[in-house]
Chains A and B, each alone.
Chain A
Amino acid sequence: MNMEVAHTREEDKDLLKVAGEIDAYTAPELREALVPLTEKEGNLVVVDLENVDYIDSTGLGIFIGALKSAHNYNGDLKIIGLNERVHRLFSITGLDEVIDIGEEREEAK
């Protein structure tokens, strides 16, 4: 049950690469890394979940919180690189309607 977060600032966005599992234990660390980035006016934050194999509901909550925060600061949140299991979770919960989970994996690399 480990998670690693790597942050890089790119020209027009912040990229956060996450690896491991996002659950009740690791979620606070993700929140600490993610939420401050969404509090920059007009900022685009992209989270790459290519190396994440599991997210639980607490993990989803972090993304919801981050999305709302991004919208408050006129920014946006994008999630890319979802595996099948994680994609299913976003789809079942209907969160794919509110968060952009576009197939941007190639572009971001």
Chain B
Amino acid sequence: MSSQSCVEVHTEWGIVSARQAGRNKAKEIGFGNVDQARITTAISELARNIYLYAEKGEICIGEVSEMGGAGVKKGLQITAKDVGPGIDNIREVMADGFTTSGGLGAGLPGVKRLMDHFDIESTSGEGTTITAIKWLR
């Protein structure tokens, strides 16, 4: 992965900075306005989870590429990593309907929908790492 920029999230300002970093990178890669808004919304949700529930954590934004059938595919990757309580039941937070609870992990199904690729790893009591990618069409 080339040029990755990371933002520490421990205030609401951190959420805004993470969004800004995401938007800049999305524009640079060439995403249109709709996808830019989707990417920043996904960053918002991930950053809020860190801000509200984890002791500390950061959001990293980077460009990724992959060889596909039609040549090289470019994309934007978000990595949200925190040291926090972790999520006990990932299947539960990934189920629709959980969003409304407003608790830890709320909004993750939304993030998965906004992005093309979504991956989560969490250890109870240690923390959570979420990786999400949006490919440029």
Question: Are A and B in contact, CB atoms below 8 Å, in the complex?
Answer: no
